[in-house]
Amino acid sequence: MMGSGQRTISHLTGMRAMNTLGTEIHLHARVFRAGCDWYADIDDHLDPQPDDPFWYGYYDTQRAAIDAACERIAAFNRARAERISQQLLSLASIS
């Protein structure tokens, strides 16, 4: 059991991505206990904005928070792959 002054924080491996402005960002997720809930957020590891992360959520369990953060990073990755795929298809149709 954790003492009252201790926080459990999980840092999940992130990924490189591009934001909507075309700037490379380095996403990572944090999961930690916040009162009775588990908090998860995803932010740019090299330029963290604690008051304005890319995504965040509150969950009943640590497992649910980790699963949600991993799914959100996977969704970012799928969206990135889809954008690249569309760009390649556009280039191929021009040729």
pLDDT tens digits, one per residue of 7-58: 555 555 565 555 555 667 788 899 999 899 999 999 888 888 888 898 999 9
Closest CA to 61 of 30, 28, 29, 36: 36
pLDDT at 2: 44
Query: 6-27 burial string, b = 16+ CB within 10 Å, else e?
Result: eeeeeeeebbebeeeeeeebeb
Q: Are 28 and 48 in contact (CB under 8 A)?
A: no
Q: Residue 57: count other Cβ atoms within 10 Å of its Cβ.
A: 16
Alpha-carbon distance of 65 to 37, in angstroms, equals: 9
pTM, 2 dp: 0.69
Q: For residue 64, how many other CB atoms are within 10 A of its CB?
A: 16
